[in-house]
Structures are given as structure tokens and as C-alpha cells.
Amino acid sequence: MGERAKHAELAGLQPPPVPPDARIGSFRSGELVNADASAVDRRLFVDEELYRLEQERIFAKCWLFVGHESQLEANGSFLTTTMAEDPVLVVRDKAGKLRGYLNSCTHRGTKICRADSGRSSTFKCPYHGWTFNSEGALMSVPRLGQVYGENFDRSKHSLREVAKIDSIHGLIFATWDPAAPTLREYLGEMTFYLDLMLARMEGGTELLGGLHKWTIGVNWKIPAENFAGDHYHVPVTHGAGVEMGYRSQLSNDGYCIHTGNGHSIGSERGGAQQGHAVQTEYKGFMDNMRAQLVAKYGEKAAAFVPVGVGTIFPNLSFMDTARFRTFRVWHPRGVDKIEIHSCLIVDRALPEDLKREVRKRYSLAFGPSGIFEQDDGDVWQSIQDSMRGRIGRQGWLNYEMGVGREGPTVDRYGPPFVGSTSDILMTEANQRAYYRQWAKLMTEGDR
């Protein structure tokens, strides 16, 4: 392929360069993110105005992960979570349709549901007793005629419903934006890698055993960009994992793939979390899946089982390893705090006792007490701590690693592997793509 054609193809895979003079609220875009996002201003992580704009331009617009279909098997089942800071109630209604609502009574705003999950066909507000059904309609109002008279229109007081809700391989997403593209358009070429990761076995996937929930005093973008492509931190932050035999020393052989719209994956060749300690039969299962993929697409396809670690813009990350597969949301709770909801997603067709072993391997390594994840939290919190001061918020963070090393993935791995990739594992290409997408959405409101 000629240089020019290559350039055009790559450009199609990349969010546009950041224009220097677009507005982001009271900021000029160029003072926050440089053209290729190899420099990002520290204020992105501590500024209250930017955080408020993110709620409007990112979280109220993007598709956000709200749960897994296996949590809502029966009609009338529900779960509660949040979309950014907004509490939501996700239900499977009487007809079996997935729906999402703001978990807030239309009378005075009280949460109508306090439990994490359960089954109920009605939700009664604990303040004045307005009661809603799983279709979001206001079913009953205490003393309706007596206190509101004859003309009160209950149909005008349904729960606020998300604009769109859809699922892919059991993962449920919702958006508040009626003008949002379809979920599959939003995910774009990431869909291909989700297919690889979540459709390995007949019967689909399930979320096993509930959620790990914990908090970290950090801006939500720090963990999101970490999962997007920070392989550079692994040998240091997680050096203990090598010492105790859980994983081999990280090599620089692997890929960091960006698939458009800020979505990314990356993996060391052979998958993250290689090593001899605490293995299970899952490894054999993954070896088998790898052999099947190689038979289909050739030797190079071996690199894609497991798929690795990644982020779906803005705040859903995952990690598909030789031992387990986790998905997690970094819910923003103010500019300097997140609440993490992390879960284990297994293939339903796995034998039950193997699922149990995989569950143990996941919580050994990830979640708040995980021997890998337990070391990330303090690092991230200390980033926030050191940037909140008058001087700490000044200047740029550096994202230059691996600039200019990207090319179409198909050139390295052959068809059907999509997106743009680098020829080394340790690059910040995916973080740059992430912040270019951030700038694209953040500048849109002020055009």
C-alpha cells in the first residue's frame, strides 16, 4: 500500500486531530490537548468546569454499560446502577423487553428503588407513595381524587426513560441521547473484538456471583486510559506478580489496537497474566479456542486468544486473560472520585466446578483485594492528590510513547483483524486515541 493510501486508511481509524482553537467551555481546546494528544493538560483531571461539561457532552451522549442480561433473566426482574452520577433502574418488563429509567420519582425526586437487584412489577416511592410499574408508568397516586382533583394526568408523570437501550453478547448498554447512533455503530470495529471475546462458546456468557464495589480517590479517566493501553506500568506497579510466579516478565511483543470512537484493546503476545502459578483447566479451554481461531485465520490469529485488556469509551474496561475475564465500570463520583463496579463474565457452557475455580482466580488477581489490582489504587489516588494544588494543576502530562508507529492491523495480522495497531506493545497510541475522542466530544457543544 502506498504511503498516501495508508495515511487515508489510518485517518479513518483515528478520531480527528484536536483543533487548536475550538472551545471547550471557557477553555481553548489547544490549551487542554495538543493536536495528536501526545500532551494532555493536567486540568483535565482536576477542573470542576471540565467535569461538569463531561457530564453533558460525554456521559449524557455516549452509550454506557448498565449490566448483563444474565442479571435480568426473568420478566419483572430489575437491577440498579448508575450512568455516570445518575442513578438508574434497569428492568426486564412484563413483555420481556429491557428498559432503563432514572431511579427518581417524578413527584419530588426520591429514589423509587433502594435494592441492588430483585424482582418486582411495581416500584413504590417511600416519600408520598406514587407507584410506578416496570413499563415506567405512574400506576397509582395516594388519594388521587381528594388531593389533585379530577384533572390530574398520570400519563404525564412516567419515569424518565433512557433514549435507547440495547445489548451485545449479553452486555447491556443505554444512552440518554435520542440522536445517538445504534449501539453497533457506536462500538464500530470494536464489535469484531467483542465477538472474538464473548462468542467463544455456544450458549453465551453470564455474570457470575455479583459485583465487586469499591472506591478510589481518582478522576475517572485515569483508570479508563490505563486499561486502554498502559502496558508500560505492568512491570513496575505489578512487579510483585512476576516475583511470585503469577506472570512472566512482560515483553514488548504484542499489539495495542485502536478501533475508532476511542475504543481500544491491547495484549502482550500470549495474553496478559501468563505464568505458572494457580492455573486451572481454563487454560486448556483457551488453548483450544486459540487453535480454533488459528485454523480459521492462520498462525498470526493466535495472538487474539485471549483478546487482552481494553476500554470502551468512555468508562467501561475489560480484561480477557488466560485465567478469567472481567468487565468493570469506572463510575465518576465527582471530579476526584470513582466507584468501581467490577464483575466476572464466564461462558455459560463451562462446567460448573470450573466456573467456581475461575471465580477464585479472578478475585485472587483482580477486584479490590486482587494481588494485581490492589497496587493500582494507591498509585492512581496519588496522581489525583498531586494534581489538585495550585501548582500541581499546571502543565502537561506526556503521552508521546510510540508516536508514529501505527499502521493498519490487517498489515500485521492479516484479515479480518481490524483497527490500527502499533508494532510494539508499550506505546501510548491508545491513550492518544482516547483523548482525541474526548476532545472531539467536548468541543462539539461549543461549535
Partner 1 sequence: MSEDAVREDAGVVSDDLRREIEAFYRTEILLLQGHRYRQWLELMDESIKYRVPVTTSTVNGLVAADDALGYYDEDLELLKARVAKLESKQSWVEQPTSRLRYFIQLLDLVHQPDGTIAASSNLLLYQHRWNLDQSFTGERNDVLMPIPGGFRLRSRLVVLDRQAFTEQGLSVFF
User: Which stretches of the chain bind Fe ion, using CB under 5 A?
Assistant: 376
Tell me if 389 contacts partner 1 by CB under 8 A: no
Does residue 359 interact with partner 1 by CB under 8 A?
A: yes
Nearest residue to 350 (alpha-carbon basis) of 159, 192, 200: 200
Q: By CB under 8 A, what part of segment 230-249 binds partner 1?
A: 236-241, 243-246
Task: Pick the binder of partner 1 from 161, 195, 378, 446 (CB under 8 A).
Answer: 378
From the list Fe ion, partner 1, none, partner contacted by residue 275 (C-beta under 5 to 8 A by kind): none
| Least CB distance to partner 1 at residue 252 (A) | 20
Backbone angles phi, psi at 386, to 5 degrees: -85, -5
SS3 assignment, position 443 = helix
The three-class DSSP label of residue 196 is helix
Minimum distance from residue 337 beta carbon to partner 1 (Å): 10
Would you say 100 or 370 has its CB closer to Fe ion? 370
* Interaction of residue 377 with partner 1, rule CB under 8 A: yes
**Residues 283, 288: Cα–Cα separation, whole Å:** 9
x-marked contacts with partner 1 along 82-101 as a string, rule CB under 8 A:
--------------------
- Of 167 and 280, the one with the shorter C-beta distance to partner 1 is 280
Q: Is the CB of residue 90 less than 8 Å from the CB of residue 72?
A: yes
Q: Which is nearer to partner 1, 166 or 385 (CB)?
A: 385
> Rounded to whole angstroms, how far apart are CA atoms 376 and 226?
10
The nearest distance, CB 373 to partner 1, in angstroms, is 7
105 contacts which partner out of Fe ion, partner 1, none, CB within 5 to 8 A by kind? none
Nearer to partner 1, 4 or 276 (CB): 276
Element (H, E) at 332: strand 325-332
Nearer to partner 1, 201 or 364 (CB): 364
Secondary structure (3-state) at 187: helix
Residue 386 touches partner 1, criterion: CB under 8 A: no
What is the rounded distance in angstroms from the CA atom of residue 72 to the CA atom of residue 129? 25
Told to check if 353 binds partner 1 by CB under 8 A, we report: no
Q: Which does 52 bind (CB under 5 to 8 A by kind): Fe ion, partner 1, none?
A: none
CB of 438 to Fe ion, least distance (A): 21
Nearer to partner 1, 337 or 412 (CB): 337
**What's the helix, strand, coil split of the chain in %, to 5?**
35, 25, 45
Is 217 a binder of partner 1 (CB under 8 A)? yes
364 is an interface residue for partner 1 by CB under 8 A: yes
Task: Select from 209, 270, 392, 407 the one that contacts partner 1 (CB under 8 A).
Answer: 209
Q: Kindly tell me which residue out of 154, 213, 269, 348 binds partner 1, with binding defined by CB under 8 A.
A: 213
- From residue 296, how far is each of 175, 198, 300, 302, 417 by CA, in Å? 36, 17, 11, 10, 12
β-partners of residue 250 are none
Cell numbers representing residue 308 in the block: 487482552
Nearer to partner 1, 186 or 366 (CB): 366
Q: Is 210 in the site for partner 1 (CB under 8 A)?
A: yes
CB-based closest residue to Fe ion: 376
Binds 291: which of partner 1, Fe ion, none (CB < 5-8 Å by kind): none
Q: Is 373 in the site for partner 1 (CB under 8 A)?
A: yes
Looking at 275-347, list the stretches that DSSP marks H as alpha helix, in order from N- to C-terminal side: 282-297
- The stretches of 308-428 forming alpha helices (DSSP H) are 352-365, 376-387, 409-413
425 lies in the site for partner 1, by CB under 8 A: no
Give the residue among 279, 287, 276, 271 at the shortest CA–CA distance from 242. 276
3-class secondary structure, 64: strand
What single DSSP character describes residue 325?
A: E
| Residue 371 contact partner, candidates Fe ion, partner 1, none, CB within 5 to 8 A by sort of partner | partner 1
- Are the CB atoms for 416 and 192 separated by under 8 Å? yes
Using the rule CB under 8 A, is 388 a contact of partner 1? no
Residue 142 as a binder of partner 1 (CB under 8 A): the answer is no
The window from 11-19, 113-121, 290-298, 313-321 that contacts partner 1 (CB under 8 A) reads 113-121
Q: Quick one: 125 or 319, whose CB is closer to Fe ion? A: 319
At what angle are helices 282-297 and 352-365 packed, to 10 degrees?
100
Residue 339 engages partner 1 in binding (rule: CB under 8 A): yes
CA angle 221, 275, 351 (to 5 degrees): 85
Q: Which residues, in sequence order, are CB contacts of 421 under 8 Å at separation 6+?
A: 255, 256, 257, 258, 406, 407, 408, 409, 412, 413
Residue numbers of the site for partner 1 (CB under 8 A)?
114-118, 208-217, 236-241, 243-246, 277-278, 339, 343-344, 356, 359-360, 362-364, 367-369, 371, 373-382, 385
